[in-house]
Amino acid sequence: MSSPFPSKSGVVKEKLSHNILNIAYPYKILLISVVVVYFLCFTFYYANFKHLIMDSNSSHNSGIEEAILEPNMSTTTSNNTEYSSTNISHLLFALMGSEAAWHHRKGYGEAWWRPNATRGFIYLDVPPSGDLLPWSDASPPYRISENIEKLVQDIQPAVPFVIRLVHTIKEVLREGDEEGFRWLVLGDDDTVFFVDNLVNVLSHYDHTDYYYIGCQSDYIKSNFWFSFNMGFGGAGIILSYPLAEALAGDMESCLKRYAYRNTFDIITMSCIADLGVDLSQQKGLHQVDMYGDISGFLSAHPKTPLLSLHHFDEVDPVFPFVDRTEAVRHLMKGANADQSRMLQQTICYHRQHRWSVSVSWGYSVNLYETIMPRSWLQTAIETFRKWVGPNPDPPHFMFNTRVKQNDPCETPHVFFFESVQKLSNDSVILTSYYRAWPRNLPQCFGALPADYVSHVHVYSPSSARTKTSKCECCDISYDIGAKNTVVKFRECKPDEILA
């Protein structure tokens, strides 16, 4: 039977345990304090260390993202030097021509050249004569190409006059007019440049780096014969100043290496390749390697700023009832009002009438008596003929085409640019387009016939179009039986479907 009183040994154990607890208590408090302090220090250190890592990674990743998403899209160059925005004074033009050709080509140059604003020269083989004298102030100033006969004799080139053209790159840098210029723009005497758009596009490149900017030919075989990696000279070749300077420094040596080459642009490409630089393709430059009526091409320009057109002597006048020179002057009337929209294709629909309207701003309006997908309307009608060479079977061109049809649903009513004016305190631009000839086809079944329409009036904002990621939208107004149709440009609504 157990005792109701605690045993002696139990009392002793209880006292001993109590004494141990009294002794250990301060150490327990100390241990807990050390753990707490250690935890707080670790937390503070980790938070700050993580913050430093995140800041470092953020800075590093930000640089990578900027390089990937917006390469060379600011006035800060690769060496982090701040520069002013690119303007027209930063472009130096070197046009390559001949005295004989300039007599009838000067109208092309004078249509786009801006006296006292554009910088550069037209390089002739011999001094001007006849009706070129006195030299027109509306033309680019001229220079006579240097006498390089000794160099030509030394290297025995395949095509001697081509050496003169390439050597122009060195000569223009000797002019002493290169102060402040960032870009050397090379072109032919029949190249038409759209200077405002050039300035805008080149402002997105780092002019302190090495850039060789150009475009391929429109004709597949031309690229095959010469090179798919070559900028075609008639469309315009653009060199950053550092590259132009390096190329000029290697000029004689390079001409010797490539004397067997037979064109200006292939020699230029070869010399630049030896400097370790490859072609940067730029849409909007156009060699125009095609013949005949290029209205189908100009009416379906890609959604990119128009930078140049070439070969005006080889194609029909781009407007009806005028000669080539007058047609180019007329084209520049629209361009001078708003280069940002020049040839930009805007498509809209009148569903009640079952009409599709495609506006190539400043050039033409195509009106179809049916609803056509935007992707189909973006395909150029092959009004033009292929360039030279035995190439009977398509494809011929570096862009999609569709053949001309006599189908009333697939053949548009065509209206050409007539006039331009600013309205409403200069906030709106009105361009008018006229019907040059009747379509001479029956109406498309189920649609309202458009034969009565003689003019299309297009209203667009006067502010420059800066967005190129998405097109503008438009609305069509037409009263049955009226002679005029109205198209008004606007920004597209969110998620608006153009179909």
CATH of the domain at 167: 3.90.550.50
Structural domain containing residue 222: 88-287
pLDDT at 33: 52
pLDDT band at 32 (very low <50, low <70, confident <90, very high): low
What's the distance, CA 80 to chain centroid?
25
Residue 403: which pLDDT band, with cuts at 50, 70 and 90?
very high
CB-based burial, 8-41: b 16+ in 10 Å, e otherwise: eeeeeeeeeeeeeeeeeeeeeeeeeeeeeeeeee
Of the candidates 188, 244, 222, the one whose C-alpha atom is nearest the C-alpha of residue 386 is 222
Decide if pLDDT at 62 tops 90: no
Asked if 334 and 210 sit in the same domain, the reply is no
Q: Is residue 340 part of a domain?
A: yes
Please state, in angstroms and rounded to a whole number, the distance separating the CA atoms of residues 45 and 51.
Answer: 10
pLDDT of residue 498: 84
Q: Shortest CA distance to 211 belongs to which of 242, 233, 179, 169?
A: 242
Alpha carbon distance 236, 186 (integer Å)? 5
Alpha-carbon separation of residue 261 from 94, 180, 425, 492 (angstroms): 21, 33, 56, 50
Residue given tokens 């081509």 in the structure block:
162
State pLDDT tens for residues 49-61: 344 334 434 443 3
Q: Does residue 303 share a domain with residue 394?
A: yes
- Give CA–CA dist 433/231, Å, rounded: 34
The predicted structure's pLDDT at residue 236:
99
DSSP 8-class letter at 132 = G
In a domain, 100, yes or no: yes
User: CB-side exposure of 394: number of CA atoms within 13 Å?
Assistant: 11
Domain count, the chain: 2
DSSP conformation letters of 322-378: S-HHHHHHHHHHHHHH-GGGTT-EEEEEETTTTEEEEEETTTEEEEESS---HHHHT
**Cβ 310 vs Cβ 393: under 8 Å:** no
Q: Which of 257, 287, 317 is the last residue of a domain?
A: 287
Decide if 52 is inside a domain.
no
CATH code of the domain covering residue 472: 2.70.130.10
Lowest mean pLDDT among 71-75, 269-273, 376-380, 423-427: 71-75
DSSP one-letter string for 214-255: E---SBHHHHHHS-TT---GGG-EEEEHHHHHHHHHTHHHHH
pLDDT in tens, 288-325: 999 999 999 999 999 999 999 999 999 999 999 999 99
Element (H, E) at 384: strand 384-385
Name the pTM for this structure.
0.83
| 305 and 270 in a common domain | no
- 485: helix, strand or coil: strand
Contact (CB, 8 A) for 260 and 188: no
What pLDDT does 82 receive?
A: 75
> pLDDT tens-digit profile of 89-102?
999 999 999 999 99
18 pLDDT above the threshold of 60: no
Give the pLDDT confidence score for residue 309 in this predicted structure: 99
Mean pLDDT of the chain: 87
For residue 73, the 8-state DSSP code is -
> pLDDT (tens digit, 9 = 90+) per residue, 181-222?
999 999 999 999 999 999 999 999 999 999 999 999 999 999
pLDDT digits (tens, 9 = 90+) for 481-498: 999 999 999 999 988 888
Lowest mean pLDDT among 7-11, 134-138, 363-367, 441-445: 7-11
Q: Is residue 102 part of a domain?
A: yes
Residues 142 and 196 in one domain: yes
Compute the distance between CA of residue 476 and CA of residue 369 in angstroms, rounded to an integer. Answer: 13
* One domain for residues 301 and 406: yes
Confidence of residue 411 (pLDDT cuts 50, 70, 90): very high
Radius of gyration of the chain, Cα coordinates, nearest whole angstrom: 35
**Range 165-191 average pLDDT:** 91
Is pLDDT above 90 for 460? Answer: yes
pLDDT of 6 strictly over 50: no
Residue 6 within any structural domain of the chain? no
Poorest-confidence range of 28-37, 288-297, 349-358, 429-438?
A: 28-37
Q: CB of 101 within 8 A of CB of 218? A: no
Q: Verify that 422 and 363 share a domain, yes or no.
A: yes
Domain stops at, among 236, 258, 287: 287
Distance CA 353, CA 222 (A): 44
| Statement to judge: residues 273 and 389 lie in one domain | no
Q: Which of 287, 317, 334 is the last residue of a domain?
A: 287
Q: Indicate whether 143 and 193 sit together in one domain.
A: yes
Residues 274 and 306 in one domain: no
Higher pLDDT, 33 or 426: 426
Band of pLDDT at residue 247, cut at 50, 70 and 90: very high
Q: Residue 123 is encoded by which pair of tokens?
A: 């390089």
- Residue 364 makes CB contacts below 8 A (sequence gap 6+) with 295, 298, 299, 414, 415, 416, 417, 433
Q: What is the DSSP string of 243-299?
A: HHHHHHHTHHHHHHHTTT--SHHHHHHHHHHHTT--EEE-TT------EE--HHHHT
* Whether the predicted pLDDT of 42 surpasses 50: no
Residue 277 lies in a domain: yes
Of 31-40, 193-202, 367-376, the one with minimum mean pLDDT is 31-40
Tell me the C-alpha distance between 470 and 419, whole Å: 27
Considering only residues 386 and 67, tell me which one the structure prediction assigns the higher pLDDT: 386
Are 438 and 299 found together in one domain? yes
Answer yes or no: do 299 and 238 share one domain: no
57 found inside a domain: no
Find out whether 137 and 115 touch, Cβ atoms under 8 Å. yes
**Is the same domain home to 370 and 485?**
yes
415-433 confidence digits (pLDDT tens): 999 999 999 788 999 999 9
Measured distance CA(109)–CA(119) in Å, rounded: 13
